[in-house]
Amino acid sequence: MKTVLITGCSSGFGAEIARFFWGKGWKVVATMRAPREDILPPSEKLKIIALDVRSPESIRAALNVAGPVDVLVNNAGIGWLNAVEGTPMDIVRDIFETNTLGTIAMTQAVLPQMRERQEGVIVNITSSVTLKPLPLLSVYTASKAAVNAFSESVALELEPFNVRVRIVLPGRAPDTRFSETARTRMQKQGGFPEAYSSVVSDVFASWEQQPETALTKPSAVVEAVWRAAKDPSSPIRIPAGADAEALAG
Ligand SMILES: NC(=O)c1ccc[n+]([C@@H]2O[C@H](COP(=O)([O-])OP(=O)(O)OC[C@H]3O[C@@H](n4cnc5c(N)ncnc54)[C@H](OP(=O)(O)O)[C@@H]3O)[C@@H](O)[C@H]2O)c1
């Protein structure tokens, strides 16, 4: 029986991915910053473990209790929407610390066991914003584009060890907690700079015009992660959701 370890399972895509793999009979290590037992089904095959991707001790402790991991899903991530002028450097560091360095640290942590077993898959969740530049998303996009570049390079160095790397690029998914937590972070920092108000209205207006059918459902992300994990012939970049697929062409 295969084991998948997923980061950021307290909500959104992470929780859905955990539920899906468990439903397919996999052993699931669902990790959360603050573990909660009421999110996922109680089961011997589903372990809930504390893991903050920004903390080396937390990563070490989680992997010590996780047991062998066949598939790592780097899903934990945080959002940010603002002009670069309205983005303090501590926020820039925060976004990169979680989205980029967290992914690299988790990859480093699982690699020794995968390389020794000559088997494993690492799935990194980035974003369709890396496929088309958008205003107010420079910092978030940079944090995810760095993960695309990291993944494509590390995929080559891991080929000799039969460890595969895949990137799942979801489109905009308003059903998760993502926008709400990003909004709270933005409001704490004082919102958008006045000078950018027309850029901000244009961005919000373009989102309002996006039809429901052109958005991304968490189920599309789950399917893309499943394909990445199971199908060795899948491409390295897998867009997830109607909007992401349209952008990927
Ligand atoms: N929703 C979208 O529109 C969208 C589009 C493209 C890509 N994505 C990406 O998809 C991934 C999942 O996002 P989502 O939409 O499912 O949002 P979400 O519901 O906000 O889930 C994000 C998860 O990441 C966790 N997390 C945050 N910081 C962490 C840390 N330091 N260590 C471990 N876990 C941490 C959160 O845990 P806490 O509960 O502890 O905060 C939460 O479980 C993210 O990487 C995001 O960038 C989202």
Q: How many CA atoms within 13 Å lie on the side-chain side of 173? A: 26
Strand runs labelled E in the chain: 3-6, 27-32, 46-50, 71-74, 120-125, 163-170, 237-240
Catalytic residue, chosen from 13, 21, 80, 140, is 140
pLDDT at 212: 86
pLDDT, one tens digit per residue, over 101-140 is 999 999 999 999 999 999 999 999 999 999 999 999 999 9
Ligand 1: distance of its center to the CA of 8 in Å? 6
Q: Please tell me the distance between residue 188's alpha carbon and the centre of ligand 1 in angstroms.
A: 19
Ligand 1, pocket-test mutation among 16, 53, 58, 78, most atoms within 8 A of CB: 78
Q: What is the pLDDT of residue 249?
A: 86
Q: Are strands 46-50 and 27-32 parallel, antiparallel or unpaired?
A: parallel
Ligand 1 mean position, distance from CA 13 (Å):
8
Query: CA 33, 35, 36 angle in degrees (round to 5)?
Result: 135
Q: Is the pLDDT at 204 greater than 90, yes or no?
A: yes
pLDDT of residue 164: 98
d(CA 173, CA 207): 11
Residue 184 Cα, ligand 1 centroid: separation in angstroms? 14
One-letter amino acid for residue 142 of the chain = A
For 43, counting Cβ atoms within 10 Å of its Cβ (0-12 exposed, 13-18 middle, 19+ buried), the class is exposed
Query: Ligand 1 center to residue 123 CA distance, Å?
Result: 14
Q: Ligand 1 atom 2: the closest Cα is on which residue?
A: 173
CA distance 248 to 45: 36
Give the nearest ligand 1 atom to 173 CA. 3
Residue with CA at minimum distance from ligand 1 atom 33: 52
Strand partners, 71: 4, 121
* Residue 190 pLDDT class (50, 70, 90 cuts): confident
Cβ–Cβ < 8 Å for 32, 51 = yes
In ligand 1, the atom with minimum distance to the C-alpha of 172 is: 3
CATH numbers and ranges of domains, the chain = 3-244 (3.40.50.720)
46-50 and 163-170 as β-strands: parallel, antiparallel, unpaired? Answer: unpaired
Beta strand extents in 33-74 (DSSP E only) = 46-50, 71-74
Instruction: Looking at the CA of residue 98, tell me the nearest atom of ligand 1.
Output: 31
pLDDT at 117: 98
Provide the pLDDT for residue 189: 86
Beta strands, E only, 8-82: 27-32, 46-50, 71-74
In ligand 1, the atom with minimum distance to the C-alpha of 9 is 43
pLDDT tens across 59-68, in order? 999 999 999 9
Q: Which of 150, 149, 154, 103 is nearest to 125 (CA)?
A: 103
Distance between Cα 192 and ligand 1 center (Å): 22
Query: Do 74 and 107 meet the contact criterion of CB atoms below 8 Å apart?
Result: yes
Residue 140 known to be catalytic: yes
Locate the ligand 1 atom nearest the alpha carbon of residue 140 and give its number: 47
Decide: 68 and 3 in contact? Cβ < 8 Å.
yes
Looking at every residue in the chain, the average pLDDT score rounds to: 97
- In this structure, the residues whose C-beta lies within 6 A of any atom of ligand 1 are 7-8, 10-14, 33-34, 51-54, 75-79, 98, 102, 125, 127, 170, 172-173, 176-178, 181
